[in-house]
Amino acid sequence: MSDSVETAAVAAPAPGTSTQPAPTHTGQSGTVVRSTVLRRLFKNPLGIVAMAILLVISLLAVLAPVLAPFEENYSNIAKTLAAPDSVNILGTDSAGRDVWSRLLFGAQLTLLSALLCAGVAIAIGLPAGLIAGYYAGKFEAVSNWVVSILMSLPGLIVLLTIRAAFGPSVWISMIAFGILISPSYFRLTRTAVQSVRNELYVDAARVSGLSDWSIIARHIFSVVRAPIIIQTAAIAGVAIAIQSGLEFLGLGDPSKATWGVMLSEGFKNVYLTPTLLFWPALAMALTIGGLVLLGNAIRDALEDGEKIKHRKKKATLEGSTAAPAAARPSRKSVAAVDAGTEHHLVKVTNLGVGYPQADGSIKKVVDDVSFHVDRGEILGIVGESGSGKSQTAFSILGLLPDNARIVAGSIQFDGNYTVAPGEELVSQARLSKLRGRRISYIPQEPMSNLDPAFTIGYQLVTPMVRVLGIAKEEARKRALKLLTDVGITNPERTFNAYPHEVSGGMAQRVLIAGAISCEPDLVIADEPTTALDVTVQADVLDLLRELQQRLNIGVILVTHNFGVVADLCDRVAVMQNGRLVEEGSVRDILRNPKEPYTRTLLASMLEGKTPMSMLVSRQKEPVA
């Protein structure tokens, strides 16, 4: 997540090798919670209840021959439809058979048939899915055909036909149902395998010479294991329902006790002894319910990360009502900014941004950061990942995640507070009037910031129509002019193109065109050239410089590249671990850095270094 550990190692000018501190420390990435899925399952009351139910039912089924007072088909003609008594604790049915005994033997058969069905489905679906997903090609094409045919068959009718052909056997009908239901495993497995087939770690295993089977067993099977378990819980439930359904219709083997047969028997006598219907129905409800709940509990256990997030949010609210709110009363009217600072386009004063943690503390990602940007000026914010540079930019834009809090300081834009001192959230009401109109944004990944479903023209025109209130035709003309301005040779074609039809450099030009379309005063560019090729980067930098000078806008350029800084910026702020380490004019910082951290960063630049020389180890002596 972050390189905080690495960064810490750089910052400390410890001599010797580059041994890292033991990553037990809770840096930007926080503590890592690791527990087994099983342990999490046992912490979930739902999981415990479900497992307890299933365990009890399985035990009863296994011990049926011992526990049952009678044979499953032993009938006492003298005592039919009897009420419960000390001999027949649940009463007897219309043939005088003991309900309790039949329920126990029925559990045996019902559970086994469910297992058989799931087993058959897995035995067919899982290997087929693994092979189809991993190798693709002909096998996949053929198996997709077979699967489509299987899925188009009307299941119940097939089962009835099989019953007619092979007689009333639970096992045969469950095998057939297993085959019918195997496509669900096939599809699940194939999709999961496809998603990891091209992962680099699979490539690495291939390079190591692992055979395909070992790769599937070691690297690919682990991806499908969890969904298969969840699926099996559901399938077993369905199998019980289907099997009982068939027998309820009277298609089962009358010589065997199953819950379905008992249900059928109970239904015939529903007016005489309604409880006959109740017991098998209860057993089925408990078993199927247990299976479904178990499936849910396993899913919850596997998605533990989600839960921590929820808790975090709750803690956020508690934390926010407790300490800071009391200390800093919120005001309806926004205070005026300090006199003498109105002329700055943006002024950030002692800004702190934090994320409340589960234990009630607040993890600060931006701490005591102050800087300002004037019109026509480019400020570079430089830092490594986890330095808080993007968080700072996002707090000016008002695009911080919901659970982020402004824990200190203020932000003012053109003489008005967007975040007044004492406020702990960015006021969306104030910022939405500014965003797009006066403050705009150029993102890092050009491709993921254009909607693939709309043409580039549409995505440029719509904001202009909305924000500037101009007619569509007028906006179209402007968009074409903007595209020409950003150096696109055939603007008409780009205007009508979808994002996937243009290159990355072109997409970034389009986003820059979008950013300046509403004539903003401030542009915040977050690593605008990082995803681009070096030659394209040079073109985009030229474009940014030319536009900035022509329109006299203020720019905040977030980057990690000192070359880009040297190319564009007037002033630089260096950030590390959420703090502003050093700020000054670009020449001062790049030529005479005061802070050791800035020096370390600059020393890591490769430009001008003797090839094949050690970079960090060499530079360690002169520090201190």
Partner 1 sequence: MSTTENDPVPAAPLLSVDHLVVEYPSKKFRAKPFRALTDINITIGRGETLGLVGESGSGKTTLGRAVLGLAPVTGGKIIFEGKDISHATRRQRRTLSRDLQVVFQDPYTSLNPALEIGAILAEPLGVQGMEQTAAKKRVKELLDQVGLPSDAIHRLPREFSGGQRQRVAIARALALSPKLIVCDEPVSALDLSTQARVLDLFLQIQKDTGVSYLFVSHDLDVVRHISHRVAVMYHGEIVEQGPADVVTRDPEHPYTQRLLLASPVPDPDRQEQRRADRHRLLEIQRHQKEQAGAVA
Scan residues 449-468 and list those touching partner 1 (CB under 8 A): none
Distance CA 309, CA 30 (A): 13
> What's the per-residue H, E or C state across 373-423?
ECCCCEEEEECCCCCCHHHHHHHHHCCCCCCCEEEEEEEEECCEEEECCCC
Contact between 92 and partner 1 (CB under 8 A)?
no
CA nearest neighbour of 402 among 285, 323, 313, 491:
313
**Piece of 136-144, 157-165, 214-222, 430-438 that binds partner 1 (CB under 8 A):** 214-222
Contact between 565 and partner 1 (CB under 8 A)?
yes
Terminal-to-terminal C-alpha distance of the chain: 30
> How is residue 84 annotated by DSSP?
P
Q: Are 602 and 582 in contact (CB under 8 A)?
A: no
Contact between 212 and partner 1 (CB under 8 A)?
yes
Distance CA 126, CA 185 (A): 6
Closest CB 30 distance from partner 1, rounded Å: 11
Closest CB 45 distance from partner 1, rounded Å: 27
Among 123, 561, 584, 595, binds partner 1 (CB under 8 A): 561
Burial of 613 (0-12, 13-18, 19+ CB in 10 A): exposed
Closer residue to partner 1, CB minimum distance, 223 or 251: 223
CA nearest neighbour of 619 among 596, 595, 603:
603
Contact between 606 and partner 1 (CB under 8 A)?
yes
**Piece of 115-123, 182-190, 336-344, 600-608 that binds partner 1 (CB under 8 A):** 600-608
Contact between 161 and partner 1 (CB under 8 A)?
no
- SS3 category, 174: helix
Q: Are 442 and 511 in contact (CB under 8 A)?
A: yes
Contact between 138 and partner 1 (CB under 8 A)?
no
- SS3 category, 121: helix
C-alpha distances in Å from residue 448, one per residue of 390, 443, 508: 17, 9, 11
Distance CA 288, CA 280 (A): 12
Distance CA 210, CA 220 (A): 13
Distance CA 82, CA 73 (A): 16
CA nearest neighbour of 345 among 439, 413, 437:
413
Among positions 467-506, residues that touch partner 1 (CB under 8 A) are 504
Among positions 371-390, residues that touch partner 1 (CB under 8 A) are 384-385
Distance CA 230, CA 301 (A): 11
Closest CB 533 distance from partner 1, rounded Å: 4
Closest CB 599 distance from partner 1, rounded Å: 11
**Piece of 337-345, 348-356, 477-485, 561-569 that binds partner 1 (CB under 8 A):** 561-569
Distance CA 288, CA 293 (A): 9
Residues in contact with partner 1, total (CB under 8 A)? 74
Among 67, 151, 172, 210, binds partner 1 (CB under 8 A): 210
Contact between 6 and partner 1 (CB under 8 A)?
yes
Distance CA 366, CA 28 (A): 11
Distance CA 592, CA 489 (A): 42
Pairing of strands 554-559, 378-382: parallel
525's enclosing H/E stretch is strand 522-526
Among 282, 308, 614, 623, binds partner 1 (CB under 8 A): 614
Among 123, 156, 447, 602, binds partner 1 (CB under 8 A): 602
Closer residue to partner 1, CB minimum distance, 18 or 496: 18
Among 117, 175, 180, 205, binds partner 1 (CB under 8 A): 205
- SS3 category, 6: helix
Closer residue to partner 1, CB minimum distance, 86 or 198: 198
Closer residue to partner 1, CB minimum distance, 293 or 378: 378
Among 25, 206, 309, 331, binds partner 1 (CB under 8 A): 206
Closest CB 538 distance from partner 1, rounded Å: 4
CA nearest neighbour of 572 among 547, 598, 539:
598
Distance CA 442, CA 572 (A): 19
Among 25, 218, 268, 433, binds partner 1 (CB under 8 A): 218
Distance CA 100, CA 279 (A): 9
Closest CB 27 distance from partner 1, rounded Å: 9
Closest CB 188 distance from partner 1, rounded Å: 18
Residue for token digits 């043409």? 455
Among positions 248-267, residues that touch partner 1 (CB under 8 A) are none
Among 166, 201, 267, 454, binds partner 1 (CB under 8 A): 201
Closer residue to partner 1, CB minimum distance, 10 or 291: 10
Contact between 573 and partner 1 (CB under 8 A)?
no
**Piece of 90-98, 123-131, 438-446, 528-536 that binds partner 1 (CB under 8 A):** 528-536
Among 85, 519, 542, 546, binds partner 1 (CB under 8 A): 542
Contact between 612 and partner 1 (CB under 8 A)?
yes
Contact between 7 and partner 1 (CB under 8 A)?
yes
Among 66, 78, 157, 200, binds partner 1 (CB under 8 A): 200
Among positions 8-27, residues that touch partner 1 (CB under 8 A) are 10, 17-20, 22-23
Closer residue to partner 1, CB minimum distance, 245 or 584: 584
Closest CB 32 distance from partner 1, rounded Å: 5
CA nearest neighbour of 316 among 306, 308, 305:
308
Contact between 402 and partner 1 (CB under 8 A)?
no
Among positions 32-61, residues that touch partner 1 (CB under 8 A) are 32, 34
Among positions 289-348, residues that touch partner 1 (CB under 8 A) are none
